[in-house]
Structure 1
Amino acid sequence: MISRRAFIGGSAAALAGVALSRFAPASAATPETFNLAIRNESGSGTAYAYVTGLSDGKPVFVKEGGATYFPPSPGAPTTPLAEDCAIPLGGPGSTTSVRVPRMYGARIYVVTGEKMTFFVNPGPNVVHPSFLNPDDPNYQLDWSFAEFTFNEAELFVNVSYVDFVAAPLALGLTTLSGASDSVPGLPAGALDGICAALEEQAAKDGAPWGKLIQKAGDGRNLRAMSAHYQSAEFGDYFAGYVDEVWAKYSGSPLTVDTQASWGKVTAQVADGVLKFDNGETFAKPSTADILSCDSGPFALDGASDVRKAIIPRLAAALNRTTLRDNADQPNGEKPENFYQTEKTNHYARIVHERLPDNRGYAFPYDDVTSTGGPDFSGAVRAGDPDTLTITLKSLHS
């Protein structure tokens, strides 16, 4: 399993010791560029794309026609981007193409209605659009994005709902060797149904699921945020379930398959902590720790390599609320058992119920699966990429 968190944030070094794509042998080097084709199925005649990431530690934009722009370090924070890096998309049903060079920690933004605004801080560091700051000039715009890393090893692209759900995107990848892969993503107009389901869940359990919905100025649904951005509002939502997990493993062992060189490790609760036979210990995670997958006992800073293999499997099982009932993680996991408890990550449940193939990240470790099990990642990847097609669908039905 290639972690989205590790791959998207890093360079080729992030792939050390990890198996490469089934599309190309590990000894192959990727081409210098790939063809990005963006199909406009949004229904809007005014749409734009932005391609930005890092190259040798420096921020870079790909402009219309494939030229690259490296913004210089400005003299003050939040300086507007000096060049227009918008790639105009054609009208509904059209496809616009551009060549993309190697870059990492990258995003492909798409927006309808009007152009986005990017800023640069001293460094230089690009200030990406914010869906959390109502004063951000992009806040009220209809925008979405896909993440990718394109290095000497492979092109890795994913659709992600870890931050929010907005206009749906689909991915299609063809390779120089003739192979292909695709991720359909959410269907067109899925947002309104997701928002209605969040409101319905809030009415059922009294938790603030409805606060995940962001509205446009005219009252339309604009996006639905992941629950971890409102974790303070959820208080101790998962506390009862975590108590049940700790009670279960006070009397019986838990097995976690690291699916790596460390093999299987076992744990049992003692003195209030989950103790593994390799010396790693985990205190009870809070609701915020579970929803973020990256705080408290799940923090990656300073963690050993084996702990970094255990964390995703525990965090995934807690978000899916399967840890209490399945002591063989993740090999005993079955998708039909995910999100079946009264208190669970209902944002992830609602998103996955609408994904036609169940693929797409609704929390950072949503790619955790049993050995040889189904792919939940929402990613396409290849060592010899030719054309990546992104289809922008309509926000509302």
Structure 2
Amino acid sequence: MISRRAFLGASAAAATFPLWGREIASAATPDTVQVAFDDKSGSGATYAYVTGTTPDNRLVILKADGTPYYPPSPSAPQTPLAEDCAIPVKSLAQVSVPKMSGARIYVVTDAKLDFFVNPGPAMVHPSFANTADPNHDRNWSFSEFTFNDDVLFANISYVDFVAIPMGLHLTTTGSGDQTVPGLPAGSLGPISDALVAQGGPWAELVDAGPDGKPLRALSAEHRADRFAGYFDDYIGSVWEKYAGTDLTIDTQVPGLGKFSGRVGSEGKLTFSNGESFTKPATEDVWSCNSGPFALKDGDTQARKAFVPRLAAALNRTTLLDNPNQPDGEDPARFYRNAVTNHYARIVHGKLPDNRGYAFPYDDVSPGPDFSGAVQAGDPDTLTITINALR
């Protein structure tokens, strides 16, 4: 079982659930997988970049002709790539990708992206948050993937922002095709309008491009200073409730089972196995990876299961109403509290199949797949559909 957090290298490798109903072929994966591009952006030029880390821990990025390039460690930070690594998808619509982890497939329209390398070497990825980054005002987005000896795992992520709508389609040699349509073409405008209509700090999540039109919509984590104390009252109500009644967490890990806990007089939510959590702050809910939700090497398998389920229920504001997490969770009841993750609510409301990560643990589920991921042990071709921004 692989989760988005696992392929990102987080310590929550056992934290989420498998993609229900799918079996991963046990044979070793091929040496390479084909990545194809279906360009429906309507742009004059579209480029892709594929970069990650090889199994022997080397930085790799494909060159413009689709062949691998292994950047050497530079003598100074922010050294531009020595090779042209912009794949022109209108003329090179398919490339052969070797095994790599923590990887991304970037797409950009009507311009190229600037990539830099720091000593190490370490890739300096384009920034959507730093207005001084040369890529900030360009129209780009990415999908995430890992490809190793066991599996190809790829997902659509809106954890950071919404920009170019993209979809995924995975063909295999025998286990069946998988599709995640992602956001439809032109989704950014309605999402931006809904955030503005929500009012308050939500309107500040819309980033405009040089033409004054929405270029991307950010998750609340990236405007955390505008949301100080946002979840405090809700979290306080949760803590008050579970001081007097049990909260049960189903780890969904075979052989591990369920654990119940209560908030004690010292203010910690403590479970029957001794794992305890201090009261999280708003920023911990947005990030899912700070304060009591920060995971580290050596944490128990149970804690690695508790964290995503608590963080997901807080983002969806179902923790107060449902004391059996995530059993019985109903997507129709997500985000119904007035104080909730409205970014996730709005994004999911535009997804045709409700599948896509709008926060890091958006794959927590009692059964239905909300994750926006494809995975297979016998991958053949991963196709990235690039839809129009507007």
Q: Answer whether TM exceeds 0.5 for this pair.
A: yes
RMSD: 2.0
Partner secondary structure for residue 106 of structure 1: strand
Question: Is the contact between residue 36 and residue 99 of structure 1 (CA under 8 Å) also seen in structure 2?
Answer: yes
Letter in 2 for 1:253: D
Structure 2 residue runs without a partner (length 5+): none
Question: Is the contact between residue 221 and residue 286 of structure 2 (CA under 8 Å) also seen in structure 1?
Answer: yes
Partner secondary structure for residue 383 of structure 2: strand
1:99 corresponds to which residue?
Answer: 96
Letter in 2 for 1:364: P
What is the alpha-carbon distance in structure 2 between the residues aligned to residue 217 and residue 395 of structure 1? 15
Q: Any runs of at least 4 consecutive aligned residues in structure 1 with deviations exceeding 3 A, and if so which?
A: 13-24
Post-superposition Cα deviations, 1:37-93, rounded to whole Å, max 9, x if no partner, equal 1011001021100000001211101224431000000000000011001100218xx
Q: Say which of 197, 200, 223 aligns to 1:230.
A: 223
Partner secondary structure for residue 226 of structure 2: helix
1:273 corresponds to which residue?
Answer: 268
1:66 corresponds to which residue?
Answer: 66
1:84 corresponds to which residue?
Answer: 84
Does 1:382 pair with 2:382?
no
Post-superposition Cα deviations, 1:209-238, rounded to whole Å, max 9, x if no partner, equal 111111111101000111011112101110
* Distance of aligned partners of 1:162 and 1:60 in 2 relative to their CA distance in 1, 3 Å threshold: same
What is the alpha-carbon distance in structure 1 between the residues aligned to residue 89 and residue 194 of structure 2? 32
What is the alpha-carbon distance in structure 2 between the residues aligned to residue 123 and residue 306 of structure 1? 35
2:164 corresponds to which residue?
Answer: 167
Tell me the CA shift for residue 17 of structure 1: 12
Tell me the CA shift for residue 8 of structure 1: 3.0
Q: Say which of 192, 195, 200 aligns to 1:198.
A: 195
Post-superposition Cα deviations, 1:301-328, rounded to whole Å, max 9, x if no partner, equal 2533221110000000000000000011
1:306 corresponds to which residue?
Answer: 302
Moved more, 300-309 or 174-183: 300-309
Describe how 1:194-343 pairs up with structure 2 within 5 A: 194-202=191-199, 206=200, 208-260=201-253, 261-271=255-265, 272-302=267-297, 303-343=299-339
Letter in 2 for 1:105: G
Question: Is the contact between residue 7 and residue 15 of structure 1 (CA under 8 Å) also seen in structure 2?
Answer: no
Post-superposition Cα deviations, 1:144-181, rounded to whole Å, max 9, x if no partner, equal 10000000010000000001000100000010116100
What is the alpha-carbon distance in structure 1 between the residues aligned to residue 380 and residue 89 of structure 2? 20
Post-superposition Cα deviations, 1:19-49, rounded to whole Å, max 9, x if no partner, equal 79935433x1000011111011001021100
1:186 corresponds to which residue?
Answer: 183
Question: Is the contact between residue 261 and residue 269 of structure 2 (CA under 8 Å) also seen in structure 1?
Answer: yes
What is the alpha-carbon distance in structure 1 between the residues aligned to residue 193 and residue 176 of structure 2? 39
Letter in 1 for 2:129: L
> What percentage of aligned pairs have identical amino acids?
59
Does 1:352 pair with 2:348?
yes
Post-superposition Cα deviations, 1:257-282, rounded to whole Å, max 9, x if no partner, equal 01113210000111211110100111
2:53 corresponds to which residue?
Answer: 54
Question: Is the contact between residue 23 and residue 384 of structure 1 (CA under 8 Å) also seen in structure 2?
Answer: no
Post-superposition Cα deviations, 1:334-383, rounded to whole Å, max 9, x if no partner, equal 0001000000000000000000000000000000001xx11001000110
2:174 corresponds to which residue?
Answer: 177
Describe how 1:119-130 pairs up with structure 2 within 5 A: 119-130=116-127
What is the alpha-carbon distance in structure 1 between the residues aligned to residue 211 and residue 65 of structure 2? 35
Does 1:158 pair with 2:155?
yes
* Distance of aligned partners of 1:243 and 1:19 in 2 relative to their CA distance in 1, 3 Å threshold: closer
What is the alpha-carbon distance in structure 2 between the residues aligned to residue 265 and residue 17 of structure 1? 16
Letter in 1 for 2:377: G
Q: How many pairs does the alignment contain? A: 385
Tell me the CA shift for residue 14 of structure 1: 5.5
What is the alpha-carbon distance in structure 1 between the residues aligned to residue 385 and residue 32 of structure 2? 20
Partner secondary structure for residue 319 of structure 2: coil
1:135 corresponds to which residue?
Answer: 132
